[in-house]
Structure 1
Amino acid sequence: MSAVSVLGVRHHGPGSARSLRRELERLRPDVILVEGPPEADALVALAPGLEPPVALLAHVPGAPAKAAFWPFAQFSPEWQAILYGAAAGVPVRFCDLPAAHSLADEETDESEGGEAGDGLRADPIGALAAAAGHDDPERWWEDVVEHRGDTPFEVIAEAMAAVREGHVPVGREARREAYMRRTLRAAIKEGFGVVAVVCGAWHVPALAGPLPPAAADNALLRGMPKVKAELTWVPWTYGRLASWSGYGAGIASPGWYHHLFTVPDRPVERWLTEAAAVLREEGLPVSSAHVIESVRLAATLAGLRGRPLAGLGEVTEAARAVLCEGDDLAVELIQRRMVVGDRLGHVSDGTPMVPLQRDLREQQRRLRIRPEALDRELDLDLRRPLDLERSHLLHRLRLLEVGWGTPGQARGKGTFRESWTLRWLPEHDLALIEHAALGTTVAAAAARRCRDLAGAPSSALADLTALVEACLLADLPEALPGVLAALSAKAALDTDVTHLMAALPAMVRAHRYGDVRGTSAEGLAVIVRSMLDRICVGLPVAVTGLDDDAAAGLLKHVDAVHAAVALLTEPPAASGSASAGAEGEGVVRGRWLGTLRGMADRQDLHGLVEGRLTRLLLDAGELADADDRMSRAMSRGQTPVRAAAWVEGFLSGGGLLLVHDPRLLGLVDTWLTALPADQFTDVLPLLRRTFGGFAGPERRAIGERVSAAGGTGDTGAATEPDVDERRAAGAVATVLSIIGRDRG
């Protein structure tokens, strides 16, 4: 006869983990059954070489949406059971529903494993807390279990039996418990003398005592859907453990629970001492006296609330009042760094990995950028070989949908700088596994991904130009010819000029990256010139008959192309060759500006378009009659709404022009002040939107000039008076004396 001990625990409970370890050492079982997918039995032997938090990842090859994680922290009872079995030479087996079934079950929450999907199950801890007269289940559990030196497993089993009285499991919960009983029967049949079952406390009544007939469980499990599932260990984070858990028992304070498990002696004193150290690292003045006083306050709060030990609530309030002196930002720092924590787990080299994962791990070591759980800023100087390789790796990973790095605004000037925010998430391993079929290295897989995307029939022109840019950023010259060929074919067939205009800026940036990074961009210049030629031909037709929304949308494309042309005609900074710039100045820039000039002279343009074209040509030095054009646009022959649209388009390039050109400012001022009240009301929203886009100093400078002019329209002379006050002082004194007034 086998002796079966069903040990009910709270998933990720430090008190449960400590008590479970002691109970296993007392029982000395011959086999340990742990809640989890049985396909992972072969992975148990790797556990001693892993650094938690880690998670079992189950996934269906070719179906990235079907994946599940079973996370383990150092303070997880299941993890301690696995470590005990490995150290004592006791076999450890998982006894939950196989991942092959749970991933095929439509009731399963596909983002996580464990007890997800048991929507009908009541909250057992909440029920017990309510029965004990407590309104906070978390605090009650900490007081009666986590803060105790020993967890009474018999009492927990009895309490759960009372909570489950009358409860009939259905659906996935019923199938899970049926499979647990099947695994338990198999262990008993094998002849193990002492069997220890480690499971969530909720399941204890279903496994303890006489088991129901096996036929009923077999009938329940018969005909379950099944998929092919593969499992491995992956690193996990405390941040992810805090947001959700694979056991339906997510915890908001994994860093605090880690502290309770690893520091059983004087945990409150040591926690507040560590909090003081964190604040000192940020330059905040915290003394030993602060720590002593905060410990006293936490103990006093616990005593007033009838708690056996100060919990997280008490130590947080003590830290807020004493260490942080009421500063919420300092409290948030402790919350982020300690209560949740930035711990990221680690798996050993012997862990099953696809070649893509191994290649990334090797590159992380070689390039000295280790994955971390919290945001880390990384500034790259692309003139340095090491930083350039780092940039290539991060861009390749983005092509593989591994968002380890998020590009940001580079500090300083120059196209040779990049800024990244790095943060490793457990899901990145799943993305690598899903793209493993593309290649054995990150570079090969990213290149294959580019070719696949370029060959997709649904790829739009803008998508292909972005893909060209991505190829150059990631240094994938083997993929570039195929992408360029697809782009050229798509551009030749696309008749919508706005599509070409949307695609051109990325192509120009790609051309520049080929110069700055030392990457060959052969073939890009020909495609860019061809696209620009077609834009110059099609744009005059596209500006005809536009309403307000269409005009505003088109101008965004015009501005983008105008900026791209300026970038294209600028001599490359890295190559030092000015030939491309000379060709651009003579041909590319002239062709584009000629197109704008031809459209600006037309009488059928939307006021917004005409005003913007006038401004672009003025800034490019192509117009000498901007004030005459503004006068005509705001003459009495034009409706106020069209005139306001013209002004909006003209001034959308910034307000400095009005600051430095009194003639143009006077024209706008005179036109605006001469409008009747009703017309002024009509154009006010347009003008408010225009001037609202100016920078604060620009608006102030314009207002000062108009105020100084006194609304006369002469906004230039009034700002620079010709009177020399020092020389006039004598004359002023004489005049005051004559009229009988003392100057003082």
Structure 2
Amino acid sequence: MHLLSELDRIQPTAVLIEGPADATPEIRHLVHRQTRPPVAILAFTAELPVRTALWPLAEYSPEYQAMKWAAEHSAEASFIDLPSLVMIALQEQRDLARQQERPTTVDTPAVNEPDEQIELLTREEKEAIFSDQQQGSLYNKIAQLAGEDDYEMYWERSYEHNLNPDAYREAILAFSEQMRELTEEQEKIHATVEYAYNAVREAYMCRKIQDAIQQGHQPNRILVICGAYHAAALRTSVHIMTDEEMKTLPQRPTRLTLMPYSYYRLSSMSGYGAGNQAPYYYELMWQQMKLGALDELPHLYLSSVARHLRQSGTHRSTAEVIEAVRMARSLAALHHGSSPVLRDLRDAAQTLLGHGDLAVVAESLAHINVGTSIGYLAEGVSQTPIQDDLNRLFKELKLAKYKTTVATELVLDLRENRRVRTEAAAYLDLNRSFLLHRLKLLGIGFARLKSSGQEQASWAEQWILQWSPEAEIQVVESTLLGETVEVAAAYVLQQKLEACTTIDEASRLIVTACECGMVTQLENARQTLQRLAVDNQDVIQIASAAKGLSTIIQYGDIRRVQTGPLVPLLEQLFMRACLFLTDNSQCQDEVAAEMMSAIHELNTISLDHNEEVDEALWLHELQQLMSRDDLNAKLSGFACSLLMERNVLDAAQAAAEVSRRLSPGVPAELGAGWFEGLSQRNRYMLLSRISLWEQLSDYIDALEHEDFVRALVFLRRAFSTFAPHEKNMIAELLGEIWGVHAEQVAEVLTEELKAEETKMIDDLNDFDFDDF
């Protein structure tokens, strides 16, 4: 309101605003009637690596209100700070200078630090010390002298609530002059990078002010909107940048765009250095000032907190709100303030509405202080091509309503909807899926895929959608990859394919291409996988790659993908896995779990694609794995279970193999390990074969004590995966074998362990085979 009053008093013909000079053409978009702050000007480099610079604007921002006033009063409005191409280049040089600075001796002690603590510091560390102690402590000292907890509360009470005519402008100028006197001399002595950076900016801004005067604007009809620190320098025009100096400024080609912003990103909670604690609160204050009802702000704020508490299930009465307002006013009076500031309102809310407990009102305070608002720009307003394309797709696919900071779940059914008339409507969810997968590939944090709960994840997808300014920035950065979402995603996928080195990775990229609906890249990925598979002998990797191909071939028609070219590749991978199965099964137990998973995947493929793959070869290799004694016993047991499950082994053959593997002469770890592998599949089949349990019982009875301890390690691991009802069935079988009632066996198996028994089991966990 102070600024609007000053604008109305001066009636300037030129309104000059601190901001990138090359963004002046964007002002007409910022003041567009459909624009709804918070919004931001975003500059980004036109080449990789991408660097960005942001200038966010809230509704109450002086810069935004000055633009609007100028548009409404036909005044000229322009930005006067360094152009973005210079600003980003200078920032890069500043960062580089800080990295290259070498340690140097500090000539003077740090403020308020004893002499004996002086040591070798880098200039960057000196600058940080100076910044923290000279500026940070100075701001804090001002707040302390004023009796405030922090500088923000001091500023609000001393400046924002001061509604006296001309008081704000005079106070700001005095504040700027005194701050520069206190800090500028030390900055020059220490030759801080920040001082040089600000000096260049101020010289350029002075030049732009001089340009406005030369264009015919009277000095007393020019109003400059800038940060308080720069006010004194621009008022006196200490140095005006010359043409020669301008030519020496570094540049890096940049592009500009506008983007919606959020109050969370505008707040200091997000880490934004120039942010404040409560952007939405200050919007409420701004609105009350416009209405001339600033004294009603405490009622509005505290009643909003109470309303949010009620919505979350915590009831607070009107009387408590009234008492909270009274308390806030009392706290303000103790600070000689006319109206409560944010700290007064928060304390009153915690005391009266939270009953002294901050946790009760913390969420409500965050909601009222920061807010969930996200800005809006009119369609097509100063957007990059990829932003325009994404907005078009959002509208076309009816996803625009999900462009919110509140996380929302979206469930997609990828199957054709035959109840609608148009093709676009019939495949709406499928096209949504293509877009969301492409955004995920581009690293745009808008959509997160959840597990669908289906084993094969065929036709249903569950997404969590949440928009954020970070996502908007990521979209803008993707402009360098392509002018549309599809082109940019295709570029990223092709880059990944060119860098791909394993068949497992290539298979995942085939799945990605299918999920993104990219036919050309799908073929490129197929060729990449085929090239890498020629010399690969790792069955675990081959099985993983084959699983991805199998899923696409089975469900590719849902995504309208032609999977015919993938079938020969699946056949090739499956054959290689068969040929190298036994070689890969000569492994330690540490690798056996991964191998079992790979064998399971290959067996599933042989069942699902028995017409395409060589099923007879697979069963032959499983029999080799089962019968050979020089391979991992656990894998041999697992192969036996698969063959029994598929009825390749008859009862006599199965009994013979069990007898051979569980004979008294077989080492304990081999026999028990083989049973562990056998027990991983089809438990009901195992439980139906009483002869197997008789052989297992005889095997255990024949073991010596030390061998029994060794076997117990494997048997505990095997039985730990059995469900409670399966263990009860085992109890019944053992009861029959041992000639006792099943209930007695179950009671023994399920009763609580004694202390000595618990200790024995704990000792097994630390069992060391090297002791034997």
Match of 2:236 in 1: 209
Q: Determine which of 519, 531, 535 is the counterpart of 2:577.
A: 535
Please list the CA deviations of residues 583-608 of structure 1 after superposition, one character each: whole Å capped at 9, or x if unmatched.
26xx5555434433321221112234
Paired position in structure 2 for 1:442: 485
The total of aligned residue pairs comes to 677
Contact 1:705–1:719, Cα closer than 8 Å, also in 2: no
- Aligned partner of 2:768 in structure 1 is none
Residue pair 1:97, 1:176 contacting (<8 A) in 2 also = no
Paired with 2:332 and 2:689, the residues of 1 have a C-alpha distance of: 71
Structure 2 CA distance, aligned partners of 1:560 and 1:100? 55
Q: Give the aligned partner of residue 575 of structure 1.
A: none
Q: Residues 38 and 98 of structure 1 are in contact (CA less than 8 Å); yes or no, is this contact kept in structure 2?
A: yes
**Cα drift, residue 551 of structure 1:** 3.1
Identify the residue that residue 166 of structure 1 maps to in structure 2.
185
Separation in structure 1 between the aligned mates of residue 682 and residue 265 of structure 2, nearest angstrom: 45
Structure 1: gaps (5+ residues): 1-17, 111-115, 570-581, 723-744
Distance 2:228 2:701 in 1: 79
2:448 corresponding residue in structure 1: 406
Aligned-pair CA distance for 1:289? 5.0
Deviation at 1:420, TM superposition (A): 0.5
Q: TM-score, normalised by structure 2?
A: 0.75
Match of 1:397 in 2: 439
Structure 2 Cα separation of the partners of residues 453 and 90 of structure 1: 52
Q: Structure 1 residues 430 and 503 mapped into 2: Cα distance closer, same or farther (>3 Å)? A: same
Equivalent AA in structure 2 for residue 136 of structure 1: D
Report the counterpart of residue 38 of structure 2 in structure 1. 53
Higher mean C-alpha displacement, 532-541 vs 27-36: 27-36
Aligned in 2, Cα 1:592/1:240: closer, same or farther, shift over 3 Å? farther
Cα displacement string for residues 260-310 of structure 1 (whole angstroms, at most 9, x for unaligned residues): 333444223223333444445456655545544554565566667887655
Confirm or deny that 1:84 pairs with 2:69: yes
Counterpart residue identity of residue 272, structure 1:
L
Residue 521 of structure 1 and its aligned partner are, at CA, apart by: 1.9
For each residue in 1:332-357, what CA deviation from the matched residue of structure 2 results, as whole angstroms up to 9, or x when unmatched? 64356443332222222342333332
Q: State whether structure 2 residue 182 is matched by structure 1 residue 197.
A: no
Secondary structure of residue in 2 paired with 1:407: strand
Amino acid at match of 2:276: I
Aligned equivalent of 1:8: none
Amino acid at match of 2:375: G
Matched, 1:423 2:423: no
Q: SS of the residue aligned with 1:379?
A: strand
| CA–CA separation in structure 2 for the residues paired with 1:653 and 1:714 | 26
Change (3 A) 1:181 1:223: closer
Deviates more, 1:554-563 or 1:655-664: 655-664
**Amino acid aligned to 2:141:** A
Secondary structure of the structure 2 residue equivalent to 1:32: strand
* Residue 642 (structure 1) shift: 4.5
Q: Is the 8 Å Cα contact of residues 623 and 643 (structure 2) preserved in structure 1?
A: yes
CA distance in 2, matches of 1:390, 1:378: 10
Residue of 385, 392, 399 corresponding to 1:362 = 392
**Unmatched 5+ residue regions in structure 2?**
97-123, 418-425, 747-772
Taking a change above 3 Å as real, the CA distance of residues 109 and 338 of structure 1, as seen in their structure-2 partners, is farther
User: Is contact 1:69-1:246 (8 Å) kept?
Assistant: no
Partner-residue secondary structure (3-state), 1:410? coil
Q: Which residue of 2 is the match for residue 550 of structure 1?
A: 591
Kindly report which structure 2 residues correspond to 1:30-69, keeping only aligned pairs within 5 A, or say none: 30-49=13-32, 50-69=35-54
Of 609, 630, 633, which aligns to 1:604?
630
When structure 1 is superposed on structure 2, of 325-334 and 423-432 the one drifting more is 325-334
2:742 paired residue number: 718
Judge conservation of contact 1:472–1:521 (CA < 8 Å) in 2: no
User: How far apart are the structure 2 equivalents of 1:336 and 1:685?
Assistant: 54
Partner of 1:382: 414
> Could you say if the C-alpha distance between residues 23 and 273 of structure 1 is closer, same or farther in structure 2, counting changes exceeding 3 Å?
same
2:158 maps to which of 133, 144, 150:
144
Normalised by the size of structure 1, how large is the TM-score?
0.78
Kept in 2, the 8 Å contact 1:95–1:179? The answer is: no
Matched residue of 1:196: which SS? strand
Instruction: Give 1:367 shift.
Output: 1.6
The secondary structure found in structure 2 opposite 1:583 is coil
8 Å CA contact retained: 2:693, 2:734: no
Distance 1:260 1:653 in 2: 68
| Contact preservation (8 Å) 1:177, 1:206 | no
Q: Quote the Cα distance in structure 1 between the aligned partners of 2:264 and 2:274.
A: 14
Query: What residue identity is the alignment partner of 2:464?
Result: T
SS in structure 2 at match of 1:175: helix
1:517 maps to 2:559: yes
Where does residue 139 of structure 2 map in the other structure? 128
**DSSP-derived class of the 2:55 partner:** strand
- Quick one: which amino acid aligns to residue 460 of structure 2? R
Q: Which of 215, 225, 249 is the matching residue for 2:274?
A: 249
Q: Distance in 2 between matches of 1:307 and 1:93?
A: 37
User: Per the alignment, do residues 390 and 243 of structure 1 end up closer, same or farther by CA in structure 2, a change over 3 Å counting?
Assistant: farther
Task: Tell me the alpha carbon deviations over residues 471-528 of structure 1, each in whole angstroms, 9 at most, x when there is no partner.
Answer: 2222233443333233333333444444322311211122233123343322122211
Say whether 1:472 aligns with 2:494: no
CA contact (8 A) 1:382 1:416 kept: yes
CA distance in 2, matches of 1:243, 1:615: 61
* 3-state SS in 2 of match to 1:95: strand
**Partner in structure 2 of residue 9 of structure 1:** none
Partner residue of 1:226?
251
* Structure 1 residue 391: Cα displacement: 1.2
* AA in 1 matched with 2:139: L
Moved more, 79-88 or 597-606: 79-88
Q: 3-state SS of the aligned residue for 1:403?
A: coil
Change (3 A) 1:247 1:717: closer
Distance in 1 separating the partners of 2:306 and 2:471: 34
Deviates more, 1:518-527 or 1:292-301: 292-301
